[in-house]
Amino acid sequence: MPGPGELEEVVVVANKVPRPLSAIPAQVTVITADRMAFEQVQEFADIARYEPAMEADFNSPRFGSSGISIRGIGGNRVALEFDGVPLPQQYAVGNFADSSRLAVDPAVIERIEVLRGPASALYGSDAIGGVVAISSIDGADLIRGGRNHYFGARSGFYGANDALHGSGTHAWAGNADSTVAAGSYRTGNEPDNHSRGVPDDDIDFDQWEGFGKWTHDFAFGSTLRLSLDYYERDTTSDIRSVLGYARFANTTSLHGDDTQRRDRETLSMEFVDRGWLDEASLMLYRQSNTTEQHTSEERTSRGTPVLLRREFNLRELDYGAEFRTRWEFTSGRVEHLVVAGIEWDHQRLTESRDGSETNRITGTSRRSILGETFPLRDLPKSVTDEIGIYAQDEIDYGRFTFVGAVRWDDFSLDASTDEVFDDPDRLTDLDTSKVTFRIGATARATDALQLYAHYAQGFRAPPPAEVNLFLDIPLFNIRALPNPNLDPERSDTVEAGLRWRHAHTRFDAAAYYTEYDDFIESRANLGIDPATGILIFQSRNIDEAHIYGTEAYLTQGLAVIHPRLTPFQLDAGVHWSRGENDVTSEALNEVNPLKATFALRWEPAGTPVTAALRATHFGHQNQVDFTESQFFVPPAATVFDITVRYEPRPNLQANLGIYNLSDQRYWRYSDVRRLDPGDPRIEIASQPGTHAQLTLSFNY
């Protein structure tokens, strides 16, 4: 249903093969490299800035953004894939350990596709909340006709955290081969927030990414690709905001030194036109993700100055493969497109903590802090294996397209004791399997109007951190217990929507309702054990919960009002949702409040300048559950931004953005919903005031 002179948008994430958006019975967002450049995306989490149904998961200035939420569901419930390879899981323990999922730099990204809602029927356990599929740059796509080489360079300044960025890309293409190599470096400080009466944390970070890809096209039409990438982020922190508050009442200094490294190797082969088989592909990958976080704390303990040193180590080592096939055939007036495949992922997870307490007067040291004796593991060494077999048939009949998908997943967890974690009574193995379905339909009611509806099941196996986590802090009388009886999460979603394409108008709308069974609530507060007086935390299943919501998006060319307004275009979007625990009838605090975005774009033909004036509205969350504890709920706020692009030549571009034009003091609900109303971290979680960002890019 493209408009006049437009090509219909093609997406891959919904079916794992390229398909026109009109055949997809779901909401899909495409974010291109050009859009990221215009919107000044500095870190991956910035892709959610102007997306109403998305939000970044943020912990603190020290640990930064850790993931992406879609329609109120985040954490490890959203599948994040980089060239088909799952990005790391997020893992956190207390105040001193938090690993991020967003270990990828925007400089090496060509395209992002976001599928909203459960997608377990194609993507398995991790996609109960949606899928974010990231595609890397490709050498052949960068090189213009008649050339063999491409070189691009970009630099930028980001006033939100005084960051500097530089990146370079080189691509080469021959008769059958092409290569691309890219490097990116970023350095910056703490966010420039709107804090009052609280000292800011002092943060310095350095981030690198190196990327390379070789592609070979065979004479018989198949393609071989080898990809390598390496990501590293180093952060040093002087944490001052919490000094004197709660458990840090006697702390005089708190410093962090953190490093995250991820490296990946991927080999893929695509076969086309192999007889009755239209396409087949095989992908093999290896990925390692390592997080090392060191904390140094000076405090007074029972009148004695002491130095506490803590060390957190996490390593995920993944091996995996996917074999996928596609074939098309016609039966009478019915056209079929069948996609089927098998996936395997093998992960080895190792986590440990170490620490010591040194008496500043006597110099004596012991490997114990707050009653914990080190070294220790919060969970045992864990090996997980996931196997998924899926098939989907897309049936096209005249103005109707029907989609049916089914997937079988088998998940196993094998935990083991060692010299550090030696208690077999706190160790649980797990073996579970699940079949998930998805059915949907689209109807092209008119040339302009398309209707769609679908029913989708979701599934998420309990991860090792929920099943086997054990944390005991005797001095604080706190204990987190493993739960060997956790059941897999399950969901059922019904969604209906429409797409309207006519002349200068594009309109999309959807309404959805999702029922969750055995929803896993991480480390729920179970209250004080009357036998021991210890405050107990444990992950548990919520028998039933539901989330429902609506979203709508409009793109309107203003030429329909008057020809002189042809350069102007209005973009608007809104997402609203509610969640409820059906057992307690209380709200689900994970669900974000209303978010709306508006943009007036100016794109005159034949001039080198384009601009956009944007407004983002964050609603007030008026349905919350304060049963277990109070937390800060920020007021509603509206923020205005302006971005301008100057492109005097096709190979030279400057992007300037001025953000929060009115210097609004505001918060994002997801950043503060875990903080007590008196927590000083609320102040440093406020968003930056008025600031500018500038990027320059050049290529030939």
Residue 1 is predicted with a pLDDT of: 47
Alpha-carbon distance values, 119 to 140, 411, 540 (Å):
31, 17, 23
Query: Count of alpha carbons within 13 Å of 49, Cβ hemisphere only?
Result: 22
Alpha carbons 634 and 393: distance in angstroms, whole number: 46
> What pLDDT band is residue 7 in, cutting at 50, 70 and 90?
low
pLDDT tens digits, one per residue of 163-201 = 999 999 999 998 899 999 999 999 999 999 999 999 999
Query: Count of alpha carbons within 13 Å of 444, Cβ hemisphere only?
Result: 15
Q: What percent of the chain has pLDDT over 90?
A: 75
pLDDT tens digits, one per residue of 260-286 = 999 999 999 999 877 778 999 999 999
Residue 542 is predicted with a pLDDT of: 85
Alpha carbons 596 and 552: distance in angstroms, whole number: 9
642 residue type, one letter: I
- Domains along the sequence of the chain with CATH: 10-699 (2.40.170.20)
Alpha carbons 194 and 686: distance in angstroms, whole number: 6
- Collapse the DSSP code of 636 into the 3-class scheme (helix H, G, I; strand E, B; otherwise coil) and give the result: coil
Between 254 and 75, name the one with better pLDDT: 254
Residue 6 is predicted with a pLDDT of: 55
- Collapse the DSSP code of 296 into the 3-class scheme (helix H, G, I; strand E, B; otherwise coil) and give the result: strand
Asked whether the predicted pLDDT for residue 2 surpasses 70, the reply is no
User: Hunting for tokens 């307004």 — which residue is that?
Assistant: 565
Alpha carbons 86 and 266: distance in angstroms, whole number: 12
Reported in sequence order, the residue ranges of 117-222 that DSSP labels E, i.e. its strands, are: 130-136, 149-158, 163-173, 177-189, 202-217
Asked whether the predicted pLDDT for residue 32 surpasses 90, the reply is yes
Interval 414-436 mean pLDDT: 90
Alpha carbons 676 and 686: distance in angstroms, whole number: 15
Residue 574 is predicted with a pLDDT of: 98
